[in-house]
Structure 1
Amino acid sequence: MRTMDIARRTGAGAVAVVLGTAAGAAAPDRSAHAGGLAPVRVEEVSENDASVTKVVTASCPGRLSVFAAGARIVNGNGGVVLTAMEPDAELTSVTVTATARTGHASAWSVVAYATCDWSTSPPVRTTATVGSASTVEVSCPGDTRLVGTGFRVEGAVDQTYVDEVAFGPGLRTVRVHTGGTAEPAALTAVGVCKEPTQPTGPPGVRVEAATGYDGAWPKTVGTAPAGPDAHVYGVGASVTGAGPFFLNALVPSANLRQAGAEAVRASQLPGPAAARADAAGDGAGSLAVSAAEMAAFH
């Protein structure tokens, strides 16, 4: 994985553009571009309160299908964990679930993003689930290639959280990994895959950006803007470092030209310091984001 200073790659302004603000649902008009209509991002935001668990679903309009998914926790401050970013089996919607850790009592919200498009070769969903393991990988079937990612983790959010949703070589696989002090009860990786169709430009490519490796948290990172005839579909991210760090956001920008990610340090659980399993190992780390950039499918 390539590592670089985010200031050289995108600058703080670009990260702000990618992550944006959670203001409500959005389904922009489908502007035309070379080869067909551009994909659209649909956004849905939960209530902003202190509920323990929240579920929110973003649905694609009309005949459009889910090609990729995104998720974000707002005001979690390391006390709320993403437990699912999951396109449904029919690829009509994306459901995002998040749960507060013990001791988190302030208001927070969660955002679901669906990247919606149409193609003569529609996408398919593939999944793989493991029990009592911290890593799972799913492969795209046949000659299909990865266009979107997803995951679901089941287990105690005080002890386990997702720190990686990564593309494999050649955009063929999705790998999901959890960190923490315990393995999840079950871990699922989701891939949205489709057969290659004649593109109007170069085939899909993976574009990456990364923060520096240091002890400052939270961390945000965004990719540089895509070319004029390319859009961001799948978003992946990975946290490295010796500490309780996890993914807080995987976000396609509103115009689908950039991908952004955010990682946070887990909040300390209540109780004596000696009993805080998440107090050990705090230190430096880094965050990398990946975007699957592709030209028109039509």
Structure 2
Amino acid sequence: MRTANIGRRTAAGAVAVALGTAGLVVVPDGAARAGGLAPVRVEEVSESDDSATKIVVAECTGARSVFAAGARVVDGDGGVVLTAMVPNSALTHVTVSATARTGFEGDWSLMAFAVCDTSTSPPVRAATTVESASTAEVSCPDQTHLVGTGFRFEGSVDQTYVDEVAFGPGLGGVRAHTGGAEPESLTAFGVCKEPTQPTGPPGVRVEASSAYDGTWPKVAVTEDPDPDQHVYGIGASVVGSGEFFLSALVPSLNLRLAGAEAVQASQLPAAAVGAGRAGVADAGADEDGDGSVTVSGLLMAAFH
């Protein structure tokens, strides 16, 4: 019997972050810095094994709060679904969870990321939950703007998966979307704060997209920004004709780049049988359809 693995260990050294073979490769060039206390990325990773569900927590320490979140499934191969990337209400940590689809038995691991920073105007968390719906949208409170994203869904991972975590219009909130069957519940989270500067935009949105074709997994990485700006919130979306879902939303170690990975649902006959919906859980693998992933990074200068 496979049991939950709640793993926490800090990744050591200046190891490159790689998503897939084409992937996001980031070699750190030192601490991100633009005056004041620089933002930092905290990373936690579970053990690699065949546990059915894994939960990982990345915690900000000292005076720093969670400004943004990230997550990544490693070696899931389309058989493991991200179910949550949640900044807690006190903004002290980020919890990431994922569950293997029925029939997937390979070893995999899970990573959680927190972008930690300080500000004279501390961030706050906003959340909206919907029942039996595929889209949840949350708006930032008055006078605040988006700095980080998050989501959580409840339901069968054999039938449901997250294919979009998007910035709202004017950086005013977050939209989360699931593909497949409607989940039991879906929550969109936004980390929001008042701009420190009274004038100028609260942040700059940058995007990058993968090729649109039938080759999976897909990886998209933003370009290196101005040296006085850092990546905070990350959004991503998958488009195409098939069963595709997000498997990673990752800020680079030096907070210079934003990366996202999307995978095609692996062909797991047991998942379709277990769900009673033959052809739903593994339709993407049969279709081998075209698609692409787009990543969005929210750039902000210190201090924002």
TM-score by length of 1: 0.88
> What number of residue pairs does the alignment pair up?
278
Offset, 1:32: 4.3
CA RMSD, Structure 1 to Structure 2 (Å):
2.4
Give the conservation status (yes or no) of the 8 Å contact 1:67–1:148.
yes
Letter of the aligned partner of 1:165 in structure 2? V
d(CA) in 2 for partners of 1:14 and 1:279? 24
Aligned-pair CA distance for 1:277: 2.2
Q: Provide the residue aligned with 2:188 in structure 1.
A: 189
* Distance in 1 of aligned mates of 2:239 and 2:54: 27
Match runs of 1:219-238 below 5 Å:
219-238=218-237
Structure 2 residue 53 is matched with structure 1 residue 53: yes
Contact 1:200 1:295 (8 Å CA) reproduced: no
| 3-state secondary structure, aligned to 2:44 | strand
Once residues 22 and 34 of structure 2 are traced to their aligned partners in structure 1, the CA distance between those partners, rounded to angstroms, is: 23
Q: Does the 8 A contact of 1:202 with 1:294 survive in 2?
A: no
Q: Could you say which residue in structure 2 is the equivalent of 1:17?
A: 25
The unaligned stretches of length 5 or more in structure 1 are: 1-11, 21-27
- Structure 1 position 199, deviation (Å): 8.2
- Cα 1:94–1:29 change in 2 (3 A) is farther
In structure 1, the residue matched to 2:203 is 204
Q: CA deviation at 1:223?
A: 0.1
Give 1:86-125 correspondences, 5 Å limit. 86-125=86-125
Q: What is the distance in 2 between the residues matched to 1:14 and 1:194?
A: 35
- For residues 34-63 of structure 1, give each alpha carbon's deviation from its aligned partner in whole angstroms, at most 9, with x where no partner exists: 3x2220000000111100000000000211
| Sequence identity percentage | 68
TM-aligned CA distance change 1:199 to 1:214, over 3 Å? farther
State the Cα distance separating 1:174 from its structure 2 match: 0.3
Moved over 6 A (4+): 199-202
Name the structure 1 match of 2:149: 149
Q: Is the partner of 1:275 in helix, strand or coil?
A: coil
* TM superposition score normalised by structure 2: 0.86
CA offsets 1:213-268 (integer angstroms, 9 cap, x no match): 11111000100011110000000000001110000000000000100000000112
Change in CA separation of 1:118 and 1:30 when aligned onto 2, cut-off 3 Å? farther
CA contact (8 A) 1:268 1:276 kept: no
Q: Tell me which amino acid in the other structure corresponds to 2:164.
A: E
Q: 1:265: which partner in 2?
A: 264
Q: How far, CA to CA, are the matches of 1:203 and 1:157 in structure 2?
A: 36
Say yes or no: does 1:297 pair with 2:303. Answer: yes
Counterpart residue number, 2:41: 41
Q: Structure 1 residue 287 and structure 2 residue 293: aligned? A: yes
Cα 1:267/1:199, change in 2 over 3 Å: farther
| SS of the residue 1:278 aligns to | coil
Q: Which amino acid aligns with 1:66?
A: V
Residue 250 (structure 1) aligns with? 249
Aligned partner of residue 25 in structure 2, secondary structure: helix
